[in-house]
Structure 1
């Protein structure tokens, strides 16, 4: 397989006219050459923090506080998940996976509620078990929750927050298993940030209320952070200090709960860019390479030897035609209507027949 157009190459997304050559799920060649294509070729997105189980409850809970919405064990989300049947949850997640593919996400890092069974339900959604439109190619790094036994089936452990439980034992088990440990911190206030950092996590999620001492600890430890600014705004907890965090550590973007926000990385990039006014290339790295680095994946960048997870946009769409700064336009204005092709694992998944 090969793709032609303007290729955004490497971690700085340098525009090069030419061809990307793909074989066996890998980028095996980048050829600089003249083409007749208006396509823009970039890495597929890595959505670094999701909760897609609550796809059964989109736009539920208007006016509720963060704790009333999602705090375990009796926030609205958890009550709705307990009341829903497995078939309903699998079907709803599968639809969200299809939407994520259509909007250019190749990989997502999921904090999966429900212990072993919750991870199993997500695996069924990916495999298309009992779902009319079949299996999905989008890949998940699953962080199980609610049960230490989940490490037997998950890629890591996703803790709700240091104030919710004592996670020392599960942190040790996760480390011993050679798996990743992530934890929510600083979403509601700053009180749980230091206890979360004391667990020496592989990454933190949210950090809306990070203060100077926390920023210094982040820089000293090199702990990555995943920010979800649209979700934080909707739940009325504030917005993360994206610029200050990015000055000190690796920052990736996530879309958080499907209940409150669509899992569109286009929308997340645009909001983060306009909120922080950071350079577009930095925001695009947050949506691609940085999330891949947190998960230890060989993707999120167009270079020889990387996984062939690619997003192709129509540079001559009504929305993108006339663009003077390609990366800025992708970050601040591109959307699903501009997507002409999505390649995951070297296979075209959009367009495809379901």
Structure 2
């Protein structure tokens, strides 16, 4: 397979005119050459934090606090999940995965409620969809038998030491929400030596230093934090200390669109476009050891092609900035997800 145009190549997403060569689902090389193509070729996105079960309740809960919306076990989300049929739950998640595929997302790091049955439901939803869900199971240690890792709700909800040890014994990553509402659960979360922290809205200097010392990657979800009125993560400070990935969080409150998340983050924070694109691609992949998120030889060929001659993108002078701040679903020309 050959994909020609302006290719955003390597860790720095350098715009290079040429042809990307793909064989057997792997990037082989980039041939620098003049082409007639206006396409922009880039790595497909990795959504670093989702709750796809919420797909059954989009835009529910207007005016509720974060605790009223999602806190276990009595938050609106959990009540609606308990009331939903398995058929409706699977179909809702499948439709969100289809949307993600159509808008260039290759992988999602999913916090999946419902224990072992919840993981099986997501696996079923992902059948015949090329988006790969990396599933952080929840609710019981037994979920590690079928999930890719364990995702804890937060240190304020329990100690999670047993779950953390079980994940380590299974050789699977342990992720945990921290610092979403306030700072009180951040140190206990870091004490668990997690492989991924989610949110960190209220991270203070001590927490930032501990994250740096322990080299813990962080997934931030700024649109979600704004909707739930908990504040905004210190993205610039986090980027100075660790790898930061971008997620869209609950489908209840936000579409799983990485285009929207990138544009929001780019315009809200003092972060350069290549850094935001890295947050939406390489950082999430690296957090779980996936071999994608970058176009370079030997990487999995999970590729997004945008129409650089669309009415929205025609005339763009900086393709990386355009991908991050301007591009959208209507500009997607092709998604290659082997």
> What is the distance in 1 between the residues matched to 2:190 and 2:159?
13
3-state DSSP of counterpart to 2:314: coil
Distance of 1:270 and 1:241 partners within structure 2: 17
Distance 1:41 1:277 in 2: 25
For 1:230 and 1:103, the matched residues in 2 are separated by 18
- For residues 29 and 213 of structure 2, the distance between their equivalents in structure 1, rounded to whole angstroms, comes to 38
Alpha-carbon displacement from aligned partner over 1:193-235 (angstroms, at most 9, x marks no partner): 0000000000100000001110111111111100000000000
Paired position in structure 1 for 2:211: 218
For the residues of structure 1 that align with 2:44 and 2:139, how far apart are their CA atoms?
30
The alpha-carbon deviation at position 158 of structure 1 amounts to: 0.3
Partner of 2:306: 313
CA distance in 1, matches of 2:135, 2:65: 27
Tell me what 2:157 maps to. Answer: 164
In 2: Cα distance, 1:219 partner to 1:195 partner = 16
Partner of 1:278: 271
- The match for 1:352 is none
Match of 1:149 in 2: 142
Report matched runs for 1:60-139 at 5 Å: 60-127=60-127, 135-139=128-132
Find the aligned partners of 2:22 and 2:125 in 1 and give their Cα distance: 27
Q: Which runs of 5+ in 1 are unaligned?
A: 128-134, 346-354
TM-score by length of structure 2 reads 0.99
SS of match in other structure, 1:56:
helix
CA distance in structure 2 between the aligned counterparts of 1:211 and 1:167, rounded to whole angstroms = 23
CA drift at 1:29:
2.2
TM-score scaled by structure 1?
A: 0.95
Cα distance in 1, alignment partners of residues 274 and 185 from structure 2? 31
The CA deviation at 1:319 is: 0.8
Alignment of 1:1-354 (within 5 A): 1-127=1-127, 135-345=128-338
User: Which 5+ residue runs of structure 2 have no aligned equivalent?
Assistant: none
**What SS does the aligned partner of 1:231 have?**
helix
Q: How many residues align?
A: 338
CA shift for structure 1 position 21: 1.2
Question: CA offset at residue 324 of structure 1?
Answer: 1.2
Find the aligned partners of 2:74 and 2:13 in 1 and give their Cα distance: 44
- Distance of 1:15 and 1:240 partners within structure 2: 29
- CA shift, 1:114, in A, is 0.2
Shift of 1:9: 0.3
**Distance in 2 of aligned mates of 1:218 and 1:196:** 11
- 1:55-85 deviation per Cα after TM superposition (whole angstroms, max 9, x unaligned): 0000000000000000011110000000000
Structure-1 separation of matches of 2:208 and 2:26 = 37
Alpha-carbon separation, structure 2, partners of 1:41 and 1:320: 13
Question: How far has the Cα of 1:166 moved from its partner?
Answer: 1.7
Alpha-carbon distance in structure 1 between the residues aligned to 2:194 and 2:58:
30
Q: How many Å separate the matches in 2 of 1:46 and 1:97?
A: 12
Residues of 2 paired with 1:237 and 1:93: CA distance? 26
